[in-house]
Structures are given as structure tokens and as C-alpha cells.
Amino acid sequence: MLSTKHLLGIKQLSKADIELIFTQADHFKEVLNRPIKKVPSMRDVTIVNLFFENSTRTRISFELAEKRLNADVLNFTTSSSSVSKGETLIDTVNNILAMKVDMVVMRHPSPGAAIFLQKHINASIINAGDGTHEHPTQALLDAYSIREKVGELTGKKILIVGDILHSRVALSNIYCLQKLGAKVKLCGPPTLMPQNIESLGVEVEYDIKKALQWCDVANVLRIQLERQDIQYFPSLREYSLYYGINQTLLNEIGKDIVIMHPGPINRGVEISSEVADGKNSIILDQVENGVAVRMAVLYLVHQASVAELQNA
Ligand code: CP
């Protein structure tokens, strides 16, 4: 059983929680490879996907995971809702829950939005990304994909490259990979590196060649221009020149490095097409694994919620 009936962030999960999610995801991955890809594990459970910020992968992956589990699914996007008329987040969610909805999956631009909501409602909440804070299911599917490709994470050297400052993927990955025993190094321009990030137990390397020489796996992040209120580097061209991952650079390093990216990709900026689509890239495996991992999270969060009700 999970130690929590919510998934607010990786920070709140134990190593045992993460391993339980992976074991359950292994089972659901097998289900997804059957001719009939559905199981009745969440029949009669109603889930709302509340997306206050744009998404392609996460929203579709959650909806597909819910449908594969036979849950009833509602989708909400801000642009077509009464949020634009001034309704608060708590009022919006309480009105949806009044219609007998059991679980909330939420993406929100404000860091801490899922934690805030959890204090005000009774339903289980899964954080699908809250601003620059956490993106727990992305970190889980990333770690699951690394484990699938290179084996258990203990002692593995994982590099996270790019816009660390604005990245919820980076923070959730740091928590998740460290809980599983991996070594984590960060690389990017000094202006996109959070101050005192070393206090989380990670190393920082500003030289991309040295960073790549060190790692087994490189997780390449997008420059999040939509979260940047000032200019953090002179131009995208300059960023690409110093920190972009391309085949010439990898050839110079001369070792096989597993390449990851959470998407969406800005081809030719943080990663070249040759590398993103190359033989060492597991970018689409990450997307595929996302469905099984999210099925596992939804199922286990629901089980924990049912157990809490039974013990009340
Ligand atoms: N990786 C990720 O969160 O992608 P989306 O923003 O498309 O959901």
C-alpha cells in the first residue's frame, strides 16, 4: 500500500512507495501489450483532469491511463471554464467534487497549488505539474525508463542538462533518482542554475563536455522561455552553441550515453534532431512508459484512499 492517498510530489514519497509504483507499472505495462488493453481496476471511479496550463503528453497520458483502468473521465481546461469569470480554485474544485467526482489530477502554473488544494478538499489529488515546483509522474516515468534501459539505479550517474532554474522536472528527478540511489549532476548556464542547489546533494558542472564524460544517462531539458521574465542568456543560438546536445559533441565524448528528454522538444536548441531521434534516445520509450506508470499511480492512490475510508 502507498504511504499516501495523494501524489503531491516525489519529496513526499518513500523509496518503498516508488518501488511499489514500479512493480505495479510492470504489471500494467504487460496489460498494455495485450490485444485488449483494458482492466476493470477503477470501474465506477470518476476522475477529473484539471489542466490550468497547456499540456500534450501529460494530459493525454493521464486520460489514456484512466480509460485503460475503466475509470469515468472528465476533462477540464481553463479557457472553457468559469475560472475566466473569477471563480477561485477551491470553489471550482468543490463544485466538481459535489458532482460525486472521486479523484483530481491537476496541472497548475502556481508552485504548491496541489499542496494548497489538498489542505482544502477530501478527494485524492495527483499533481500533474505545479509551476516550477514538481512534476512527480514525469520523474517516476523517467526513473522507470532508466531502470528499464540500464538496470537498477543504485550508483548510476545521471546528468540533467539545461534550464534547471525553471524546471519542475529537474526537482522531481533529483528527489526520485536520489531516493533510488543514483548520483545526480546538473549542467547548464550559471544564470539558469538555482542558488545553493548543491544543498540537495547534487553536483554542478558548467562544462558540458566534462558533464557528458561523467554520465551514463543525460536528461536534456527545454529552455522554458514562457517562465522567463528576463533574458537569462544572450540568444538561443548562443545557448545551443554552449549547451546544446548534438552528434558532433557526443562523437567527441566517444561513449554511449542514454539520451532522454521530457518533451516538448525544441529541436535545434537544447538537442539536435539527430540525437533526439538517434539510437541512444529513449524519448518515445519515456512517453510509452508514462501510461503504465500513471495507471500504477492512479490505481495505488485510489487503493490508499479506499483503505483510509475503511479505517476511518
Ligand atoms: N513532459 C510534459 O509534461 O509534457 P507536456 O507539457 O506536454 O504535458
Mean pLDDT, all residues of the chain? 95
Flag the least confident range among 15-24, 60-69, 83-92, 244-253: 83-92
Q: Which of 51, 57, 105, 138 should be mutated for ligand 1, with most atoms under 8 A from CB?
A: 57
Q: How far is the CA of 310 from the centre of ligand 1 (A)?
A: 35
- Give the pLDDT band (50/70/90) at residue 282: very high
Is the CB of residue 55 below 6 angstroms from any atom belonging to ligand 1?
A: yes
H/E stretch holding 123: none
Q: What is the pLDDT of residues 205-246, one digit of tens each?
A: 999 999 999 999 999 999 877 777 768 777 889 999 999 999
140 contacts: CB under 8 Å, gap ≥ 6: 10, 18, 21, 22, 25, 176, 293, 297
Superfamily of domain 10-135+287-311: Aspartate/ornithine carbamoyltransferase (3.40.50.1370)
CATH 3.40.190.10 fits 136-282, yes or no: no
Q: Which atom of ligand 1 is nearest to the CA of 56?
A: 7
- For ligand 1, atom 6, which residue shows the shortest CA distance? 55
Task: Determine if the pTM surpasses 0.85.
Answer: yes
Q: Please state, in angstroms and rounded to a whole number, the distance separating the CA atoms of residues 86 and 140.
A: 34
Q: How far is the CA of 238 from the centre of ligand 1 (A)?
A: 25
Q: What is the pLDDT of residues 245-264, one digit of tens each?
A: 999 999 999 999 999 999 99
Instruction: Using alpha carbons, select from 311, 307, 304 the residue that is nearest to residue 124.
Output: 304
Q: How far is the CA of 12 from the centre of ligand 1 (A)?
A: 22
**Per-residue b or e along 52-88, where b marks 16 or more CB atoms closer than 10 Å to that residue's CB:** bbebeebbebbbbbbbbbebbbeebbbeeeebeeeee
User: Above 80 in pLDDT, residue 84?
Assistant: no
- For ligand 1, atom 5, which residue shows the shortest CA distance? 55
Q: Pinpoint the residues of the chain covered by CATH 3.40.50.1370.
A: 10-135+287-311, 136-282
pLDDT at 160: 98
Is the CB of residue 262 below 6 angstroms from any atom belonging to ligand 1?
A: yes
- Give the pLDDT band (50/70/90) at residue 293: very high
